């Protein structure tokens, strides 16, 4: 097809304008080619020929669809009846496409953006002009952007899942803390009630008995005048018996007061320190529960914990023993207190009936929750290993630097 099919030039100036048009086509970086109504190439610039791997003269006269547009990106055949380039001159419809590929001479494909415009002379279509550019870098950038977007979406989904999981865990932990707080308040009230009852029932009755004895003595002393020597001797004997009884009541009262005070806070913890208090508590427990005790304590000389940490460890130890007494049905208990690599380890193991994990993790296992919360406040942790029929082992580990 001649240049007259593309552009109608004034007489005598065709060669000049054709030369200028050729220079313009060769100077652009875009590929440009024209096809006739059969789809054969009638012109192509150097940039377009190089992009598809041919010399310009090798392309002239060849069917451009069969040469470079014959297949889709996945390799499936691309019928020329579906080709937007050919539809430009078949139907007189221009098009712009950026989702297809052209094929090189070596059989490789590259993504292109192309436009196809019909060549008109009057109302007659004589072919089409196609411009195209290699958009490989643009596609790579778009793919990279899409991958980044997908990664961001996945990361956002994972973050939302983690937030939901953490929220659920925090809600559960908050619920457990509320239950533990309520349980602790209940225990405190029960302890106050118990102490009040003991003070009323035991100390109160002792003090009433002492008051009655004192009144009896006062009354008898007033009756001494005018008595015979023999009657006075009998009265002195009765008074000595009464004083001995009062002494026993006072001793009992002192013992009860000491026991109540020890329940509230063992004095041995203040006077002899944590290690002596732990051993005393263990001996008291096995004597009361009638258990065999294996005791081992290996603590560096001079090591002492600050008062708040010592009290927390002592209370955890008390709760460990209390669990054994309430649930284990054991006949023997093994207690080890040691320091390894600046970590205080306290282990209580029994040969009792054991417990399931569900029982230990139950929302109503307030004793276990309380021990774990105290251990967490000291920067440590409480581990429990137990199976039905194989006893239980409770292990407290606290970093000394945190304690």
Q: How far apart are CA 292 and CA 351, in angstroms?
A: 10
Give pLDDT, residue 370.
83
Q: CA distances (Å), 44 to each of 29, 51, 133, in order?
A: 12, 11, 13
Q: Does the structure show a pLDDT above 50 at 2? A: no
Write down the mean pLDDT value for the chain: 82
Comparison of pLDDT for 74 and 222, the residue scoring more: 74
Domain definitions of the chain by residue range: 3-134, 141-263, 269-399
When computed from its CA atoms, the radius of gyration of the chain, rounded to whole angstroms, is 50
Say whether pTM exceeds 0.75.
no
pLDDT tens for residues 51-91? 999 998 999 999 999 999 999 999 999 998 888 888 877 87
CB neighbour list of residue 18: distance below 8 Å, 6 or more residues apart:
3, 9
Write the pLDDT tens digit of every residue in 149-198.
Answer: 999 999 999 999 988 888 888 887 777 777 767 666 666 666 666 666 66
Token representation of residue 394: 């409770």
Class level of CATH domain 3-134: alpha beta
Q: How much helix, strand and coil, in percent to the nearest 5, is found in the chain?
A: 55, 20, 25
The per-residue DSSP string of 189-207 comes to: HHHHHHHHHHIIIIIHHHH
CA-based nearest residue to 384, from 393, 376, 396: 393
3-134 and 269-399 have identical folds: no
**What is the structure's pLDDT at 61?**
93
For domain 269-399, which CATH number applies: 3.40.50.2300, 3.30.565.10, 1.20.120.1200, 1.10.3720.10?
A: 3.30.565.10
């Amino acid at each position: 097809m001649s240049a007259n099919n593309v552009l109608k030039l004034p007489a005598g100036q065709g060669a000049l304008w054709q030369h200028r048009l050729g220079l313009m086509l060769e100077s652009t970086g875009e590929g440009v080619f024209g096809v006739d109504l059969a789809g054969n190439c009638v012109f192509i610039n150097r940039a377009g020929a190089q992009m598809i791997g041919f010399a310009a003269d090798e392309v002239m006269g060849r069917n451009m669809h069969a040469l470079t547009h014959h297949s889709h990106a996945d390799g499936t055949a691309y019928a020329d009846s579906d080709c937007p380039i050919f539809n430009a001159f078949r139907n007189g419809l221009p098009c712009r496409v950026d989702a297809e590929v052209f094929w090189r001479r070596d059989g490789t494909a590259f993504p292109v953006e192309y436009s196809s415009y019909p060549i008109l002379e009057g109302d007659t279509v004589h072919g089409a002009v196609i411009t195209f550019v290699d958009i490989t870098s643009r596609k790579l950038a778009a793919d990279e952007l899409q991958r980044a977007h997908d990664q961001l979406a996945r990361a956002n989904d994972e973050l939302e899942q983690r937030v939901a999981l953490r929220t659920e865990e925090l809600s559960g932990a908050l619920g457990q803390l509320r239950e533990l707080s309520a349980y602790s308040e209940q225990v405190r009230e029960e302890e106050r009630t118990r102490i009040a009852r003991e003070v009323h029932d035991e100390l109160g009755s002792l003090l009433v008995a002492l008051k009655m004895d004192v009144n009896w003595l006062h009354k008898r002393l007033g009756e001494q005048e005018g008595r015979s020597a023999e009657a006075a001797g009998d009265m002195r004997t009765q008074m000595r018996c009464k004083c001995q009884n009062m002494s026993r009541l006072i001793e009992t009262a002192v013992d009860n007061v000491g026991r109540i005070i020890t329940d509230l806070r063992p004095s041995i913890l203040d006077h002899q320190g944590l290690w002596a208090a732990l051993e005393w508590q263990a001996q008291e427990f096995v004597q009361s529960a009638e258990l065999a005790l294996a005791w081992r304590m290996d603590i560096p000389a001079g090591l002492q914990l600050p008062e708040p940490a010592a009290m927390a460890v002592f209370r955890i130890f008390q709760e460990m023993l209390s669990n054994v007494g309430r649930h284990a049905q054991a006949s023997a208990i093994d207690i080890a207190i040691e320091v390894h690599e600046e970590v205080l380890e306290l282990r209580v193991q029994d040969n009792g009936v054991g417990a399931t994990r569900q029982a230990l993790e139950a929302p109503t296992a307030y004793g276990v929750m309380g021990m774990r919360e105290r251990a967490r406040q000291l920067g440590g942790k409480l581990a429990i290993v137990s199976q039905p029929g194989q006893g239980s082992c409770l292990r407290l580990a606290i970093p000394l630097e945190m304690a």
